[in-house]
Amino acid sequence: MGESWLSGTPLYVMLGLVALTMAIVYLLPRLTRVAPPALVAILSVGLAVYLLGLPTRTLGDMAHIAGGLPVFAMTDISWNLDTLRIIAPYAILMALVGLLETLLTLNLTDEITETRGYPDRECVALGAANVVSGAFGGMGGCAMIGQTVINLSSGGRGRVSGVVAGLMILMFVLFLSPLIERIPLAALVGVMFVVAQQTFAWASLRVLRKVPVNDVLAIIAVTVVTVLTDLATAVLFGIIIAAINFAWQQARELYADSHVEADGSKVYHLHGTLFFASTTPFLDQFNPAEDPAQVTLDCRHLSFVDYSAIAALKTLRERYVKAGKHLRVVHLSERCKRLLKRAGVQHA
């Protein structure tokens, strides 16, 4: 049986409780910081619902929360290639999402607390924790921005706060699950609204008017893909967009200055990066038919990146040879010389 939308009195009660929860979370820190505002808001709204008998949904209406100590469950798995083929795609996807979410959370935590975390340590700990959790039949997990913001806004700064939070969750699930089931959904919704508002970098909206249009489009595209699919797909999509944008920008920045020497030879001073996307602009800089018999390419400020760059230089040399003229390449970096030597292209 499908869930229906709230309407009438239950809807108004839900909205009122959400607003009350948000008001407590926002206003309580102005009065005192003795207790975490999110916890006070949830307890206050839950108590109000219980005493007044308000018609609203609770966690118990959505799912039964109770459990015991876990047991080792790895012996129930069939260790074969068929099992690996089934779980590998999901395992890789979850690993990517978990690592990305953890690193994003770590970065946000560093900004809020003005400290410096250790990404390598966090990633290793995340992997070890998920292995242990899976061995006992638990679900995978990672650091979450929402819970971290609640922890930080409640005054937590050290690792002890995270350990205490984990122990409290364990205690509630094992011994106090009936109390958890009485928590109104409206209270959790209100807290998460506040978390979303506090997590969002509102200052970035002003920055959007100052950054290039390509970057704005990439941000919007990644945001939309995240909502429609998942974080890993969105990040991959964003990397592709960023790579295309970078290649396009680098291709546009390649240019050449030229002058004629006293002996009648012509020197081209090249600037930029020569790679697959800039080979056409590179070749367009030259006119073998009209250039003098001796032409020099000064590559002091030019970088060769890939095989396309070598192929472009080889094509340019062939054009000058066909026109009966000599092309000399000077001031190559050691890396560029090695690339040309490996490809068998003469540059002298």
Average pLDDT over residues 297-318: 90
CA distance 7 to 70: 40
More confident residue, 146 or 126: 126
Could you tell me if 306 and 218 lie in one domain?
no
Residues 81 and 155 in one domain: yes
Smallest CA-to-CA distance from 238 within 215, 218, 212, 216 is with 218
Q: Is residue 23 part of a domain?
A: yes
348 found inside a domain: no
Examine the domain organization and report whether 299 and 335 are in the same domain. yes
Rounded to the nearest 5 percent, the helix, strand and coil shares of the chain are 60, 10, 30
User: Does residue 279 form part of some domain?
Assistant: yes
Residues 189 and 219 in one domain: no
pLDDT-wise least confident of 51-60, 97-106, 339-348: 339-348
Position 1 scores a pLDDT of 45
Question: What amino acid occupies position 143?
Answer: A
Q: What is the mean pLDDT of residues 216-226?
A: 87
The pLDDT tens digits for 261-295 are 998 999 999 999 999 999 999 999 999 999 999 99
Residue 194 lies in a domain: yes
Count up the domains in the chain and report the number: 4
- The reply to whether 164 and 98 lie within a common domain is yes
The stretch 181-195 carries a mean pLDDT of 91
Mean pLDDT of 307-313: 89
Q: What percent of the chain is predicted at pLDDT more than 90?
A: 28
Q: Two tokens at 28? A: 């309580």
Q: Which of 30, 25, 65 is nearest to 45 (CA)?
A: 25
Tokens representing 188 are 């959790």
Phi, psi of 258 (to 5 degrees): -140, 155
Contacts of 267 (CB under 8 A, 6+ apart): 258, 259, 260, 261, 295, 296, 298
Same domain, 164 and 230: no
- DSSP conformation letters of 153-190: HTT--SHHHHHHHHHHHHHHHHH-HHHHHTSBHHHHHH
Q: What are phi and psi of 302, to 5 degrees?
A: -120, 135
Check whether 72 has a pLDDT greater than 90. no
The answer to whether position 74 is within a domain reads: yes
Same domain for 189 and 261, yes or no, is no
Instruction: Share the mean pLDDT of the chain.
Output: 86
Task: Kindly give, in sequence order, each residue whose CB lies less than 8 Å from that of residue 158, ignoring residues fewer than 6 positions away.
Answer: none
Range of the domain at 108: 67-176
Instruction: Calculate mean pLDDT across residues 112-119.
Output: 84
Residue 11: Cβ within 10 Å count: 12
337 and 301 together in one domain: yes
Write out the E strands in the chain: 255-260, 266-274, 294-304, 326-330
Same domain, 97 and 134: yes
The CA radius of gyration of the chain, in Å to the nearest whole number, is: 31
Each residue's pLDDT tens digit, 88-101? 888 888 888 888 88
| pLDDT band, residue 13 (cuts 50/70/90) | very high
Q: What would the mean pLDDT of 160-174 be, rounded to a whole number?
A: 84
Query: Could you report how far apart the first and last alpha carbons of the chain are, in Å?
Result: 79
Q: What is the pLDDT of residue 236?
A: 86
Select the highest-mean-pLDDT range: 14-18, 106-110, 305-309, 335-339.
Answer: 14-18
Identify whether residues 122 and 73 lie together within a single domain: yes
The span from the CA of 39 to the CA of 100, in Å, is 28
Q: In this model, does residue 199 exceed pLDDT 80?
A: no
Pair 78, 153 in one domain: yes
Which of 246 and 154 is assigned the larger pLDDT?
A: 246
Question: Quick one: 81 and 221 in the same domain?
Answer: no
Write down the pLDDT at residue 347.
60
Residue 40 belongs to a domain: yes
